[in-house]
């Protein structure tokens, strides 16, 4: 079988996450202090796809408009961030006084936990399952 290069004009991945905020500067500072983002002069952060332990894919998944998966958020989207060690990350968040909405360590694709940002956006934290490791 010969590998063929795909034809040009295709989606290759997620290029960014863009959304409106009531106070973008204050929200950026919260993401910096709480989640460890390195905020650039232009107000955002760069999330490198080749970072150590980064999962090999990013998921795009529309939900039904009546989904409760984003609750308690009333926003129309949720952001999922991959983490290398969920328990260590949650310990840091707890030390900062962040409420952990829930945690699921039993998923076949890894471990999950959820928090909210100050503007009501639900954030899903995901530690991908290690290859060859049974959950």
Q: Which residues have C-beta within 8 Å of that of residue 55, sequence separation ≥ 6? A: 82, 126, 128
Q: What is the pLDDT of residues 1-50, one digit of tens each?
A: 667 888 887 877 888 999 999 999 999 999 999 999 999 999 999 998 88
3-state secondary structure of 59: coil
Q: What is the pLDDT of residues 38-93, one digit of tens each?
A: 999 999 999 988 888 888 888 999 999 999 999 999 999 999 999 999 999 999 99
d(CA 74, CA 78): 10
3-state secondary structure of 82: strand
This prediction's pTM: 0.86
The DSSP output letter for 130 is P
Instruction: Say if residues 48 and 75 touch (Cβ distance below 8 Å).
Output: no
- Which residues sit opposite 107 in a β-bridge? 110
Domains of the chain: 24-128 (3.10.180.10)
């Amino acid at each position: 079988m010969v590998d063929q290069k795909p034809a040009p004009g295709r989606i290759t991945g997620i290029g960014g996450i863009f959304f409106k905020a009531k106070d973008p500067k204050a929200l950026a500072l919260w993401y910096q202090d709480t989640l460890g983002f390195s905020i650039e002069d232009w107000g955002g952060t760069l999330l490198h796809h080749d970072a150590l332990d980064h999962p090999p894919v990013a998921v795009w998944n529309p939900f039904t408009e009546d989904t409760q998966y984003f609750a308690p958020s009333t926003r129309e989207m949720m952001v999922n961030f991959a983490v290398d060690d969920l328990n260590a990350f949650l310990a840091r968040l707890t030390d900062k006084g962040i409420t952990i909405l829930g945690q699921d360590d039993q998923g076949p694709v890894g471990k999950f936990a959820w928090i909210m940002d100050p503007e009501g956006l639900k954030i899903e934290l995901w530690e991908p399952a290690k290859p060859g490791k049974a959950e």
